[in-house]
Amino acid sequence: MRKVAIFAAIAVLAVCLMPAMAPAAPKEIKIGVIYPLTGPAAAAGRELRAGAELAAKIANSAMDGIDMTMAKNAGIKSLGGAKLKLIFKDHQGNPQLGADLAKKLILDEKVVGILGCYYSSVTKTVSAVCERYGVPMINGTSTSPTLTKRGFKWFWRTTPHDKWFTKDLFELLVGLTKGKVKGVKAVPKAEIQKLAAACEKTEWGSNVSIEIKNFAKEYGFDLVANILYAAKSPDLSSEVQSMIAAKPGAMLFASYTSDALLMIKTLKSMKAKPKLIWGQDAGFDKPEFIALGDDIDGILTRSVFLPSVVKIKPLAGQVNKLYVKKMGHDLDGASARAFTGLQAWVYVLEKAGSTKPKAIQAAANTISIPGKQLVVPWFGIKFATKGDEIGQNVLGSGLIGQYQKKGDKMTLQVVYPFDMATDDMIFPFKGY
């Protein structure tokens, strides 16, 4: 008995003296992705999903010919090569459904974090759920300025927001009057002095409307009509009539896909002839919009990515080739931002070396991704941790593109920033 006791004591001592075993790295990392995969914004949802999927594929593989770090590691290197698993959910443009889906992803699927949600109104409710449960959320595609003004500790946004994008528009308008726009002689301000805006009245469009009003006053333009209309409207005749009656030099829109298509068709049917038409991305930057053909020749849209970016950024061209192979068309503002949002998740996880929320939070708050790693033409990704925009990427920037017919193909050419212009701007818009 004494020998047995001695051996048992030795065994216990040996176990105690053994080095502590590190916890096994996870084989996969679940990220919940919430997008509008059906409903009025289903077209955008397809692009968003494809962008996120392509980023995950690159991150999970070792790919030659893609000059970004995440294409070399074949998984999250700091977590033993763990692969990303994206779990997609369809919020259908419904904020309450989005919140319910986020809760299910957190409690049932045990996701490490969330990516989403395109609609700012849905991002608002989903991020509130994440905040409540202490689960990280990275947003790549929602642009309501208020989202990063809430002081949330678990929310980070990679994309610039509408205050920045709207300021770009007014810089372009001023540039037109000063002869700064490529291919256009200085335009008398009187030609574009009057502005008319029509924005859908959810979280996103309502905030765009406010920004347009504020910048019009700051830059000395007259906002003669500022209309808020019901999203997914079956008829926009009265709104367009009101805009035309105001006789503006420029018409400005914040519309999701179905509304943007209907808006252009209604403008055409009423023979509208403004000097300039500008859309705040969203529905103005989708394959369905491009399918309108000659009717959009000369229309402007803000974006963070245009196909012509490949002329100035080789990495964008490398990734775009893969996207074209997958989808049959180029990256757009939505898909490029979804790609970048998922890419931010990859870099944050790599830096964290853990799937624990606190480690991810610390990594996100200190991450610095250089612009040369991104497909979008930004200086990089670095999130604000102080001030009134906590979690906002401070290194992003916007573009303004113009649809221009080249032969039998509709292209998007960069017209702003002025030093990045890829072609002469068409001005004035030909009208209908």
Could you read off the pLDDT of 241-251 as tens digits, one per residue?
999 999 999 99
Is 11 a residue whose pLDDT tops 60? no
pLDDT tens digit sequence for 369-407: 999 999 999 999 999 999 999 999 999 989 999 999 999
Residue 14's pLDDT is 41
Residue 285's pLDDT is 83
Match domain 163-303+398-420 to its CATH number in 3.40.1280.10, 3.20.20.60, 3.30.559.10, 3.40.50.2300: 3.40.50.2300
Residue 25's pLDDT is 63
**Range 199-226 average pLDDT:** 96
Alpha-carbon distances, residue 413 vs 70, 171, 226, 283, 328 (angstroms): 29, 17, 28, 17, 20
Whole-number Å distance between alpha carbons of 204 and 221: 23
pLDDT band at 197 (very low <50, low <70, confident <90, very high): very high
Mean pLDDT, the chain, as a whole number? 92
Residue 205's pLDDT is 93
Structure tokens at 166: 């709207």
pLDDT tens digit sequence for 265-312: 999 999 999 999 999 988 898 888 999 999 999 999 998 888 888 888
Residue 23's pLDDT is 52
Is 6 a residue whose pLDDT tops 80? no
pLDDT band at 118 (very low <50, low <70, confident <90, very high): very high
Alpha-carbon distances, residue 93 vs 32, 37, 48, 143, 342 (angstroms): 17, 9, 14, 15, 21
Of 328, 323, 375, 369, the closest CA to residue 57 belongs to 323
Is 8 a residue whose pLDDT tops 80? no
Tell me the residue ranges of DSSP E strands in 155-289: 155-157, 194-200, 222-229, 250-254, 276-279
Report yes or no: 152 and 384 within 8 Å, Cβ to Cβ: no
Question: Does domain 28-160+312-381 correspond to CATH entry 3.40.50.2300?
Answer: yes
Peptide bond just before 199 cis, omega within 30 deg = no
Is 107 a residue whose pLDDT tops 70? yes
Residue 86's pLDDT is 98
**Range 194-203 average pLDDT:** 95
pLDDT band at 24 (very low <50, low <70, confident <90, very high): low
Is 143 a residue whose pLDDT tops 50? yes
Which strands sit side by side in the sheet containing 222-229, from one edge to the other? 222-229, 194-200, 250-254, 276-279, 300-303, 399-406, 409-416
pLDDT tens digit sequence for 66-100: 999 999 999 999 999 999 999 999 999 999 999 99
Residue 36's pLDDT is 97
**Range 187-212 average pLDDT:** 95
Is 233 a residue whose pLDDT tops 60? yes
What pTM value is reported for the model? 0.82
Report yes or no: 268 and 294 within 8 Å, Cβ to Cβ: no
Domain with CATH 3.40.50.2300 in the chain: 28-160+312-381, 163-303+398-420
